[in-house]
């Protein structure tokens, strides 16, 4: 009896093409990702946000690196960051809205100018992903400054980021996969 039940369940989940099978599979995938895979990756990478979708264009570069650099050069040079230095940074060509970024937890002493971090801001509900353009240890604590590569300058909320606000550092990107989340969130917002 029990074996027969398992066969029916297996058939329903993997072979049945009904709308109910499809709905159960979507719910099951969501539950597995939300409560098993995502927390597992968080433990493995040492951060509560192991994967984030890029939801803005603030890190996009217009054209090739040389073309982009000439539109941004003055600001970076004022910060003491030369073209040669920037060209050695991770994600030197930026990334796009819709990309997925995989993060790793890092201590403040491990985060360098040029690294891309994800941090919390009191001004926005969603985490922000920008490049570190300044780092200072004053009064015993690290303070970071970030800037979106596409933005003309740092916003005021980016000029005093404390280690407790940082979720992690970007390790690598998966192009365009973040649109799955962006579209799902936009559809949920329409339903509300």
Dihedral (CA of 184, 176, 171, 131) sign: negative
- Whole-angstrom Cα distance, residue 118 to residue 103? 8
Q: What percentage of residues in the chain have a pLDDT greater than 90?
A: 59
For 30-42, write each residue's pLDDT tens digit: 888 888 888 888 8
Long-range contacts of 80-87 (CB under 8 A, 24+ apart): 81/113, 81/114, 81/133, 85/114, 86/114
Phi and psi at residue 78, to the nearest 5°? -60, -25
The first and second tokens of residue 68, run together, are 């982009």
* Per-residue pLDDT band at 1 (split at 50, 70, 90): low
- Whole-angstrom Cα distance, residue 89 to residue 85? 7
Tally of CB atoms within 10 A around 95? 22
* Per-residue pLDDT band at 96 (split at 50, 70, 90): very high
pLDDT at 124: 83
* Structural domains of the chain ordered from first start: 2-44 (no CATH), 51-191 (2.10.109)
pLDDT at 6: 86
- Whole-angstrom Cα distance, residue 178 to residue 191? 20
Q: What percentage of residues in the chain have a pLDDT greater than 70?
A: 99
Q: Mean pLDDT highest for which of 110-119, 132-141, 170-179?
A: 110-119
SS3 track for the chain: CHHHHHHHHHHHHHCCCCHHHHHHHHHHHHHHHHHHHHHHHHHHHCCCCCEEECCCCCCCCCCCHHHHHHHHHHHHHHCCCCHHHHCCCCCCCCCCCCCEEEEECCCCCCCCCCCEEEEEECCEEEEEEEEEEEEEEECCEEEEEEECCCCCCCCHHHCCECHHHEEEEEEEEECCCCHHHHHHHHHHHHHC
């Amino acid at each position: 009896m029990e074996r027969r039940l398992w066969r029916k369940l297996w058939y329903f989940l993997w072979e049945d093409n009904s709308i109910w099978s499809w709905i159960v599979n979507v719910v099951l995938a969501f539950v597995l990702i939300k409560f098993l895979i995502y927390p597992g990756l968080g433990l493995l990478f040492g951060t509560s946000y192991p994967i984030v979708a890029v939801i803005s264009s603030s890190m996009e570069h217009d054209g090739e690196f040389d073309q982009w650099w000439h539109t941004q050069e003055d600001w970076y040079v004022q910060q003491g960051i030369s073209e040669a230095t920037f060209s050695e940074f991770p994600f030197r060509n930026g990334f796009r809205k819709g990309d997925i970024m995989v993060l790793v937890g890092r201590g403040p002493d491990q985060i360098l100018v040029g690294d891309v971090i994800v941090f919390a801001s009191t001004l926005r509900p969603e985490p922000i992903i920008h490049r570190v353009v300044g780092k200072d240890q004053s009064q015993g604590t690290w303070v970071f400054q970030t800037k979106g590569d596409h933005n003309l300058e740092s916003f005021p909320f980016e000029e005093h980021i404390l280690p407790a606000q940082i979720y992690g550092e970007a390790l690598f990107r998966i192009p365009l996969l973040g649109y799955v989340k962006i579209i799902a969130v936009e559809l949920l917002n329409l339903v509300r």
